[in-house]
Amino acid sequence: MGIQSNTHSPMSQPPKMALDPMGKTVVMKPDLIIDCDPGHDDAMAICVGANRGHLIGVTTVAGNVSLEHTTNNALAVVQMLGIDIEVHSGAAGPLNGDDGRFASFVHGENGLIGASLPEVTRQVASTDAADYILSATIEHPGAWIVAIGPLTNIATALERHPALIDRISGISIMGGGTYGNISAAAEFNIHFDPEAAEIVFKSGARIIQCGLDVTHQLLVTDALVDATAQIGNGFGRFSNGLLAGYLENIRLLTGESLEAVLYDPCAVLAITDPEIFEFADRYVSVETRGEHTRGMTLVDQRSWMRGGPVKWAETIDAERATEIILSAITAAP
Ligand code: RIB
Ligand code: CA
C-alpha cells in the first residue's frame, strides 16, 4: 500500500514573468524577506538572497548570538553588499521569556569570528521586525519569508495577523531535521524557541523545510575558502575571512572531525533555485514538551503517511549550490 512520495519542486506556482528593458520576457526574481541571526551562514544567505532573489528587507532575531550582535552583523552585511534595503531588529529571546542559549561557541562572541567587519554606518529602520513583516507583505504580496534563525519574529507576526499566510507565497525555513545538533533530537533554531516553531508549523502557511538532513550536504570546504580568496572584491575578502574563521573554529571545537555547514543558504536556494533540490511532501510536528526531545521536529517518514503539507528538502546538488554562492559573492562590491 505504498504511497509514492511526491518529489517535486515546491514552486508549483508558475514564476512571475516580466519584460526586461529590451522587451524580452524574463523570469522575475522572487521577493524575499530574510529573518536571520548572523551567524556566518546567515551572512552567506543574505548575499545569495540579494543576488538570486529580489531581497526586499532583512529582520533580525537573537539566536547564534545576542540581538545586538545579530543586528549589527546584518547591518554590516547589507552595507557591504551596497543594497538599499531596510534592516529591522526583532526578538531578543524566545516567546516563553527564557534567556536564549546562544551559539557563540560556534560563531564567536560577536557571531562572525574570523570576519573583518566595517564600521557600521547603517541604522536599523525599526525594532519591530514582526510589524515590518506584516507591512512589507502588504506592499509585496506573494513574497517569500526566509526564516534562518529562531522563529520568534515569524510566530509573533502570525499571532498578530494569522491572515499573513494568505498574502505570502510561503515560509522557507532552515530548521529541524530527523536528528539534532544542539541536542540529539533538536536543531538549534527550533530548540531556541520551540513554541514559536510550533506556531509557525501549525499556522497553515506553505512551508519549505531545509533541515539538517539536507543542510549537512552543503559544507564549507578548504576549496571554497581558497576560492573566495581569489575573487578579489571587498565581499570576497570578507567572505574569505568569515569562512576561514568559521571552519577553523568548528575544527577546533570538534578536533578536526567535522566540517562547517552552510545551513542557511539552503533555505534561500530552495526558493531561487529549486531545481537543485529534491523535495518530498511530509507531515512535520514540533515537540515542545519532551524531556529529551523538546525542540525536535518530528518528520513523519512512514511510507503510508506521506503527502503532508511541508515541502521537506531531501537532497541538494552541493556542487551547483557552491557555484551559485561563489557567483553571488563575485557579483557583490
Ligand atoms: O542549526 C543551524 C542553524 O542555527 C543555522 O541557522 C545557524 O545560523 C544557526 O542559526
Ligand atoms: Ca541562522
Q: Is residue 47 part of a domain?
A: yes
Crossing angle of helices 234-254 and 40-52, rounded to 10°? 140
49/51 Cα distance (integer angstroms): 5
Q: Which domain holds residue 196?
A: 30-331
Q: What is the pLDDT of residues 188-213, one digit of tens each?
A: 999 999 999 999 999 999 999 999 99
CB 95 within 8 A of CB 62: no
- CATH number of domain containing 300: 3.90.245.10
Q: Is residue 5 part of a domain?
A: no
Q: Is residue 190 part of a domain?
A: yes
Q: What's the rounded mean pLDDT across residues 55-69?
A: 98
Question: Is the shortest distance between the CB of 37 and ligand 1 below 6 Å?
Answer: yes
Q: Is residue 6 part of a domain?
A: no
Asked if pLDDT for residue 6 goes beyond 80, the answer is: no
Query: How far is ligand 1, taken at its centre, from the CA of residue 41, in Å?
Result: 7
Q: Looking at ligand 1, which atom is closest to the CA of residue 42?
A: 8
Which comes out higher in pLDDT, residue 109 or 155?
155
pLDDT for residue 15: 62
| CA-nearest residue, atom 10 of ligand 1 | 149
Query: How far is ligand 1, taken at its centre, from the CA of residue 96, in Å?
Result: 20
CB 77 within 8 A of CB 106: no
| DSSP single-letter state for residue 294 | T
Question: Is the shortest distance between the CB of 51 and ligand 1 below 6 Å?
Answer: no
5/307 Cα distance (integer angstroms): 7
Q: Is residue 12 part of a domain?
A: no
Question: Is the shortest distance between the CB of 146 and ligand 1 below 6 Å?
Answer: no
List all residues 6 or more positions away from 153 whose beta carbon is below 8 Å from its beta carbon. Answer: 35, 59, 61, 90, 91, 129, 130, 133
pLDDT grade, residue 19 (50/70/90)?
confident
| CA-nearest residue, atom 2 of ligand 1 | 188
Asked if pLDDT for residue 276 goes beyond 70, the answer is: yes
Q: What is the pLDDT of residues 165-194, one digit of tens each?
A: 999 999 999 999 999 999 999 999 999 999
Q: What's the rounded mean pLDDT across residues 31-39?
A: 98
Number of domains in the chain: 1
State the Cα angle at 214 between 89 and 44, rounded to 5°: 40
Q: What's the rounded mean pLDDT across residues 42-65?
A: 98
pLDDT for residue 23: 80
Question: Is the shortest distance between the CB of 264 and ligand 1 below 6 Å?
Answer: yes
Q: Is residue 226 part of a domain?
A: yes
Q: What's the rounded mean pLDDT across residues 96-125?
A: 89
pLDDT for residue 14: 59
Q: Is residue 13 part of a domain?
A: no
Q: Which ligand is nearest to the CA of 64?
A: 1
Q: What's the rounded mean pLDDT across residues 230-258?
A: 93
Categorise residue 199: left if φ over 0, alpha if ψ from -120 to 50, beta otherwise. Answer: alpha
Q: Is residue 4 part of a domain?
A: no
Question: Is the shortest distance between the CB of 42 and ligand 1 below 6 Å?
Answer: yes
Query: How far is ligand 1, taken at its centre, from the CA of residue 245, in Å?
Result: 16
State the Cα angle at 204 between 202 and 209, rounded to 5°: 75
Q: What's the rounded mean pLDDT across residues 252-272?
A: 92
Asked if pLDDT for residue 107 goes beyond 70, the answer is: yes
Question: Is the shortest distance between the CB of 188 and ligand 1 below 6 Å?
Answer: yes
Q: Which ligand is nearest to the CA of 297?
A: 1
Q: What's the rounded mean pLDDT across residues 10-39?
A: 79
